[in-house]
Structure 1
């Protein structure tokens, strides 16, 4: 999730103009590892909030924010990582929040708390989402096999660093909300030659996925699209990636009602995906309709629905904590959800 304009509501339109799938889609066998129930949160803003002096507390008791989430039965943390966020055009100019050193430090905290880790590669120096997937400045001159190799090598480097300190991720997102592609213009699938560009996108995605398998074989690979209530576009995208032999274990969907439809749309889409594909399914970003989203996310056919990640509950985006860092009653919803679905 990034701070985009209202145009993001049209995140599916690039698929509408595409011709029919040119070759049969045979789903790959899912990863041998099994994904358990997930009650997760993306808290990538935490170091920035702490740098501003925010202290977190629950019922008047000051605690580490990660411990507070654990106390309320969260079992997974999601962290985003940018290639060079400290760049002038990056996410965090001069400071580098969400770079590799910050990610290493946060991963240690997550693992020390006994929680699992989902690492979200944006493959950009700044926010990547359906409306923008800027190529990292260091890769500006790279195209074709050289760009594919860069994705592989960068992913491998990051994962090796996490492994070296004993904090390997349990799941890895190869790209963030990539239904319109990633690392534009090379992997932009909204163009007139979109089927050719799907070939490029698949090569880029598989390069990242192969680096995960090589370095962290127990980690699950997620493909993340922002089409929560849009089944036609979800299946078109997934079929095209599968037909191009991209190997992944988990389907991640974003769901924000103003861009992705109604709760009924979300349920219809995820139910259909669960029936069609062997992969498990996670709502990997959402904010509103917390109970309803989780009721869907934990109740899909064949046990495929594994849960959810709320986006930035520590920030004012969610208001689960106030501006001073004090938890409020919205956090109690997660106690209810964990009891209802026996999340451990």
Structure 2
């Protein structure tokens, strides 16, 4: 087959994508691979690989089933992944997951034909159900200043992506696991985006992000993302608050992190909730994050059940595994700073090879 040389011209809705060549994690003496064609369309079989550049800087490599060192995103694509998710922090220590780092990873993903989800945390560090810290530079902002900051940061990052030629941005998350909103400032209820304190503010911040997304990538779908996809009450509470305050979104995002002793119940509930929420709010749903212990023999059946079940629901856009590439006790710098242990719900084994959990993405 004819090799494709030079810069690939990509369309967000491309029917098929093919590419050859090697990249920074390949063996330096590797021979060129025979070109292979990949279908990158349809149901999103995704991976959040936001730690990838930090891992590579530390010398971490990734290996295929035969033990050949292979660039991580190429490896994931070869086993069925077609979409990449990347988080964005405002001013992170070390620059990891900041704007410049995200642009590098997104460009690399697009060169491999991936569709892209950008995940704005609106924080300098982790935003999750327990912590939605305001970026240090925004600490004393008024409500209007905070809205402008959300808009400006969203616009700045997305315009940087667009200027680099990244056109495959299909989804943009406004906030990460915003169980009780985002941009918490408990000292000032007139400013805080905590829903239990001021739901109108949260809706206004979401709308500021929504409008900024549409101004740069009009076709991108805006996601509002909540944790515990098995718990429908979390979703109806916050989306009712958004609806009542004229909040805007296109897709509901879910997280799901089952354990060995509850995955069957949690996946049943999550699949039922996708159907119920799609009907109630007349929108699609995506599993923005999913993961299970890397060495669990239940991870593969869990993932196969979720991928098969989600594919069978017309309003479910896809499933994204969270940081599958982490292995063998690796920790990012900010985990070390925070005193956290290694993340153990990746989907690579201690030899840097994908586990059976990712077989779900290659299954027909």
TM-score higher than 0.5? yes
Counterpart of 1:62 in structure 2 is 69
- Structure 2: give runs of 5+ residues left out of the alignment: 1-12, 14-40, 186-191, 293-301, 328-343
Residue 309 of structure 2 is aligned with which of 262, 277, 296? 296
Q: Does 1:73 align with 2:86?
A: no
Query: Which structure carries more relative contact order (alpha carbon 8 Å, separation 6+)?
Result: 1
Moved more, 257-266 or 312-321: 257-266
User: 1:264, CA displacement in angstroms?
Assistant: 2.4
Contact 2:255 2:290 in 1 (8 A): yes
Counterpart of 1:273 in structure 2 is 277
Change (3 A) 1:146 1:319: closer
Q: Does 1:314 align with 2:313?
A: no
Counterpart of 2:353 in structure 1 is 326
Render the CA deviation track for 1:16-75: whole Å, top value 9, x for unaligned: xxxxxxxxxxxxxxxxx9x94110010111111111111112022221110111111211
Counterpart of 1:179 in structure 2 is 179
Counterpart of 1:249 in structure 2 is 250
Give the alignment's TM-score, normalised by structure 1: 0.80
Render the CA deviation track for 1:292-317: whole Å, top value 9, x for unaligned: 222332222xx101221011110133
- Structure 1: give runs of 5+ residues left out of the alignment: 1-32, 87-94, 340-344
For residues 103 and 314 of structure 1, the distance between their equivalents in structure 2, rounded to whole angstroms, comes to 17
User: 1:249, CA displacement in angstroms?
Assistant: 1.2
Change (3 A) 1:58 1:67: same
Counterpart of 2:220 in structure 1 is 219
Counterpart of 1:134 in structure 2 is 133
Larger radius of gyration, structure 1 or 2?
2
For residues 152 and 275 of structure 2, the distance between their equivalents in structure 1, rounded to whole angstroms, comes to 36
Contact 2:151 2:208 in 1 (8 A): yes
Contact 1:117 1:171 in 2 (8 A): yes
Give the alignment's TM-score, normalised by structure 2: 0.75
Contact 2:123 2:132 in 1 (8 A): yes
User: 1:171, CA displacement in angstroms?
Assistant: 1.1
Contact 2:195 2:238 in 1 (8 A): no
State the aligned residue count.
289
For residues 321 and 236 of structure 1, the distance between their equivalents in structure 2, rounded to whole angstroms, comes to 36
For residues 323 and 236 of structure 2, the distance between their equivalents in structure 1, rounded to whole angstroms, comes to 28
